Structures are given as C-alpha cells and as structure tokens.
A and B are shown apart, each in its own frame.
Chain A
Amino acid sequence: MSELSIAVPDVLGDVPDAVERLFAVIHTLSSDGQITLDLTLVNWIRPYAAVSLLQACRYLKQLTRYPVHLTGLQSNIHAYLRRIDFFQREAEVVYTSVPFNSADDLARSTSSSNVLELFPIRIHEDIYEVATRARHILAYWLSSSSYDIDNIVTLLSEACSNIVDHSGDAGIVIIQKYDRGYYVDINLAIGDLGMGIRRSLMVVHGAVSDTCAGYIELALAGLSARSGERGGQGLGAIRRIATESGGCLYIRSEMGSVLAEASGIVTRDDLCFFPGTQIAITFRSKRAI
C-alpha cells in the first residue's frame, strides 16, 4: 500500500473563502493508497474549517477506501478536534497517531464551553435533537435574548433540513460562540457530500444557470428542489436572519460560492470541485448593556 503525505496550509483558522486552499489540495490527490494530512503548519481552526476538514476526510476515504491519517497536530488543534468529537464522530474515516494527554482535554461543561460538538444529521429527528441541544447551550451563551436564540434555532432547522431533504447524504453541523466585546458571534457550520445545489435544482428545473454560483443564487432567491409549488424558503430565510443580525452567510457547492452580507453578495465560480454543500453562518447577537 502506498502512502501520500500532504501538508495542509495554515488556512483553517481563517475566513471560509481561505479554506479553498484546503479544497485545492484535496483536488490534486489521486485515489491510490492511504492519504496522510500533515497539519504541522495549522495554528488555529474554526468551525467551518473543521467541518470542511472532516468532509475532506470522508471524500478521501470514498476515493481511496483508506481512512485518512492526520499528523503534526499541535496540542491546541488536537485538543479542539477532540473537544468537538472529530475523531469519535467518523472513526472509520479519520484517525491520528499523535499522542495526547487526556489531562489537556478542553472542558465540556455547558457553563464553560464555547462549542457544541459536531452533530450528525441523517434524519429529521436529528434536527429536533440538535435544536434541543443548541437551545440548552445557547441559554448560557445568550441568556438575555430569547429572540436571538429563536432565530438561531430557525437557522439550524432550515440549514439542516436541506441536508435531509435534498442532499441524499448524511451531513454534519457544529455551533461555536465567539465573544467580541459588545457582541457575540455565533458561528454555525454545516456540510455534506451529497448532490450539491446545482444537481438538486437541475433534477426539477433543468439547466437554468451556467454556473454553480448561479444555482446557489437561484436557491437563495427561492428556487426550490421540490417539484411542488411550495418550498425554496430555507436559504432565503437563513440569509435574512443572518444578515439582519449583522452577520453573514457563506455557501459553497461544487465549484461555486456565494457570500451574502447586508451590503450584498459576492460570488465565485472558479473553485476546485468538491462535492455536496458546505455552509458557514455567522449570527451576531448584541450584548445587553
């Protein structure tokens, strides 16, 4: 069995667009033998990158049939990945041989934790389950704002339901809090390796755009992958809630991406192919002063 070791660039702590360098690396790999991803250069990791890394490992496992080996984990990266159940969630897909002292594990208590670990989304009941868990931890994070908590639950349900209803794959979601002084950013990251937005819309509507980003824009505008009259509400609702809060929505699918902010959208259609849909949502909650 051949082994190939690839250095992952230090982009996992950056904005979602920067994570494209990870997908570019994945895109170059062939299907021969085991893949080792060397994370020596990686100094920080954020939720969208964690979901992307896990989906990349799932994709490589599908290509090579071997689980991906992660090496070079710095202790803070290793602790974070353990905290979000990265290795536990997809044990047959990714593993590490880097030693770790469990005494260095990050705290898991609801009151001190800033993250809701990776949660699999396979069926609708999973969405109710993750919404319940999210409500529990959001009550600690955003104690004064039931309005913000309700909005985040809506973001979760609308984003995750697209996985179950349209992707044809199981997905994954993670939620993390970042304190920013006068406000709190809640980051949601959701990913799957399913049909992607372009293909799911083409099944119903045919070729209605020339680009992957064009299909994402159509989905944001309300075009539904359901054959009936109704549907197509979800991404538009996510965009409204995220941008009205002062946050943003980033959607990547196949070779296109759309970043939606209050000021407008930025599209890209020059990305390396990666299957499915990856989403990063930032919801901004103002602190009561």
Chain B
Amino acid sequence: MADPKLVPVPSRGMVPERDVLERPVLETLHLGVDFGGLVAVDEFNMVIGKTEIAGLIGPNGAGKTTVFNLLTKVYQPTRGTILLGDKDTSGMNTSQVCKAGMARTFQNIRLFSEMTVLENVLVGHHNSIAYHTPSAIFRLPSFWKGEKKAREYSLELLSIFNMEDTAEAKAGSLPYGAQRRLEIVRALATNPSILLLDEPAAGMNPTETAELMENIVKIRDTFGIAILLIEHDMKLVMGICEGIAVLNYGKIIAKGTPDEIKNNPLVIEAYLGKKEEEGEEVNA
C-alpha cells in the first residue's frame, strides 16, 4: 500500500460568499486543551474565510483568550488540529505560527514600551527584512537597503492609521487608545493572513470604538486578510462581524451570523441566565 500523504480536509463550516472559492484561512478541528483535570476548551470547531471578519464572544471566563493562546501556541493543544491556510500547525511554537501568517494583539497591551513607535513596528516587520548578521556587522549594502526599505514600509503602515507623527515617541508614553492602535499596526507589520484581536475596544469610549470599527474594516479591505476578534462590546461585534461563534465553559454553544446569534435563546441564557418566569422581559 502506498504511503498515504496527509492532506487537510476542509470541514463543513460557513464562510462569506465572496470567499467560498478560496481555501479558508483558518480552520480548527476538535481543538481542545486540558489543564490538569480541568477541560478548559473542548470541541472547538471553527472555519474562517480568507477575508472574513469573525467574532468570538462569550461570558467572562468562557475560554476565549485560551482559544487565542491555543491558536498562537502559547499553550499547546491537548487535542485537535489547527490548519492555517494549507499548513497544519501541529508542533509549531509561537514564533513559527507567526511566520506562517497568524498575528495577534493582547488583552493587556504588550508593547515594547521602552522602544519607539517606529521600532515597535520594525520589530513586527523583523522576518520580512532580508539581511543577516554578517551583513549587519560589516555594514554591507544589503544592510542599508534592508533598513531603508523596512523604515519606509513601517512609516507607511503607521500613516495609514495617522500615527506617523508619533514615530519617534516612546511607545510607553502614548495615550491608551494610541497604544492599542500601535499594537495592531505592529501585528500588521508581520505580514499576516489572519489577525487575531483580543478585546481591541477594551477601555474605549463610543467615539473611539466607532473609529476602531472603521479601522478594522479598512484593514480587511486594504490588506485582504481575515480578522478574528474577541470582544464584549456587542455594538462592535454585531456591527462588523460576518460570522460569530459563542463560547461558554470552553464549548461553542452557537455559531452564525449576527442576526442568528442575537436571537439565539442559548446565547441569551449564557449571558443573562435562565428566564425566571413567563412574561419576564429579558433585555439583550
């Protein structure tokens, strides 16, 4: 019998119609992780289309950030498969997953606060810069070329988000909203095919949130990538997400479009608890 060559088998998930002919950018099959005796995440199956803006919501402690940590291999999954494009990420570590095309931001901002805004973006761009250590030490032409290209690219990226004026400022000195934006820009600099945003609107007022929503759609439209976000702000989620998965106690309890999710009784129960009596009004 010939050696069976393993090929990823796309599952029967849902993607936006425009992406239906392309391979999904991210697919998880039976993904799960246990911590000691605790099953933190189980049977996490999700498909994200190439240019889809997807949302992952659920009550606090449901395991949403744990899912992100599984996808980015901060934790190694106990079971299941993650397919990033056509690559199976089993055995990869965090930096390898990033090189394969998955970038992320963090719930508690993780900037390089002692470095400048521009340097933060340059670090994100690290793997796209072409020269090696000997070139750097002997200051060969490839070093100068590489640095120049990287700087230009990073400044351009910053200007898309109107941040080019702050390029030389220390990242830690930026106001909160700008720091969140910088984290996104840095993630974009890694040239991802999917961007994972962990509570990007946390701590933002309605104006900033609206701006963020515009920016996220702009990112998808400009770069042609997919975005998966964790959020508690329902206006944002319902406003820009095309596909939503709802997590509770580590399991997906509902999946669908914003309208389907909004009216799903299981979702309402997860957030607000069981309806006590008949006729009691439940405010979603």
Physical interaction between A and B: no
Chain A interface residues toward B at CB < 8 A: none
